[in-house]
């Protein structure tokens, strides 16, 4: 491959990465609020029913744009695992604060 072509492709990748990171930041802000809501309402960090619906949607959306659904599914599994771990942390912090506040 001509090196200028490689540079051009990498510029396109960099541009998309900028957008992907901005969207991830937005998504994590929303899941942070979900985590705070769950902690305050004593809901479990993981919701398997919601996840099943999410994964169905992800497969459908991937197929619509000719993306291998396995790729998107793997990425979203990672994302959700990070979210679940953060929600567990928020729950521990929330309960710790309430214990201290109650004593
Ligand atoms: O919708 C929720 O309840 C969330 O916590 C968000 C989210 C997600 O990232 O989409 C993460 C973990 C849950 O197991 C399901 C979905």
Provide the pLDDT for residue 99: 87
Between the alpha carbon of residue 95 and those of residues 34, 62, 98, the distances in Å are 16, 39, 5
Q: What ipTM, to 2 d.p.?
A: 0.99
Is there an atom of ligand 1 within 6 Å of 72 CB? Answer: no
Question: How many angstroms is it from 51 CA to the middle of ligand 1?
Answer: 6
Mean pLDDT along residues 70-98: 97
Domains along the sequence of the chain with CATH: 3-102 (1.20.59.10)
Within 10 angstroms of residue 81's Cβ, the number of other Cβ atoms is 11
Reduced to 3 states, what is the DSSP secondary structure of residue 68? coil
Q: Tell the residue nearest (CA) to atom 6 of ligand 1.
A: 31
- State yes or no: pLDDT of 101 exceeds 80: no
Q: Is the dihedral of CA 85, 54, 64, 30 positive or negative?
A: negative
Q: What is the pLDDT of residues 8-65, one digit of tens each?
A: 999 999 999 999 999 999 999 999 999 999 999 999 999 999 999 999 999 999 999 9
């Amino acid at each position: 491959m001509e090196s200028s072509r490689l540079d051009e492709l990498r510029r396109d990748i960099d541009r998309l990465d900028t957008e992907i990171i901005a969207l991830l930041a937005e998504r994590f802000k929303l899941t942070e609020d979900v985590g705070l809501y769950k902690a305050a309402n004593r809901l479990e960090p993981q919701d398997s029913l919601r996840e099943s619906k999410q994964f169905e949607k992800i497969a459908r959306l991937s197929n619509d744009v000719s993306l291998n659904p396995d790729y998107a599914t793997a990425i979203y599994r990672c994302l959700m695992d990070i979210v679940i771990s953060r929600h567990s942390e928020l729950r521990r912090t929330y309960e710790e604060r309430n214990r201290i506040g109650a004593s």
